[in-house]
Amino acid sequence: MFLEVNPLVLPELGLVIWSTIAFLVLLFVLTKFAWKPIMAAVKERETGIEEALAKAEKMKAEMAQLQNENEALLAKAREERATLIKEAKETADKMVAAAQEKAKAEYDRIVADAQAAIHQQKNQALTEVKNQVGSMVIEVAEKVLRKQLADKPQQEAYIQELVNGVKLN
């Protein structure tokens, strides 16, 4: 059971030989003139890709390093900010405390001045009252002596009348 092969499908022997010779010549020409430049271009392309990959890895490492540096700078900036805020708060607290102390000292001074003024006015008023009482006593004594009454009950009644008649200013 052989299959019969159609003679149109089978090539002739001359065609096979010439096709083989043409293929071999083409293979020789391509090997001699095109294979090396093609291989050189492929090698050059391969080298370029490797260099690009190496550059990319280097850039990736640099980016990671820069990111680490940025994070360190951010941490340092946060620390400095916290320190500055703390110092500003301490300065503000000191200023408030100093202002409170100054206000208390001023208050104490004003109260002391007011107490001194009150004490001085009180002393002046007492001195004035004493002077008025002294003047009244002298006035009463003068009137009593001028009258020179012989009767003691009459003198006491007269003194009482003068005391009631004297106006206290």
Question: Which segment of 21-25, 71-75, 105-109, 129-133 scores lowest on mean pLDDT?
Answer: 129-133
Which one, of 85, 90, 93, lies nearest residue 77 by Cα? 85
- Least confidently predicted of 15-24, 50-59, 137-146, 148-157: 148-157
Closest CA to 142 of 165, 162, 164: 162
Is it the case that residue 39 has pLDDT exceeding 90?
Answer: no
Inform me whether the pLDDT recorded for 113 exceeds 90. Answer: yes
- In the predicted model, is pLDDT for residue 119 greater than 90? yes
> CA–CA separation, 149 vs 47, rounded Å?
149
- Whether the pLDDT of residue 1 is over 90: the answer is no
Cβ neighbours of residue 149 closer than 8 Å, sequence gap 6 or more? 155, 158
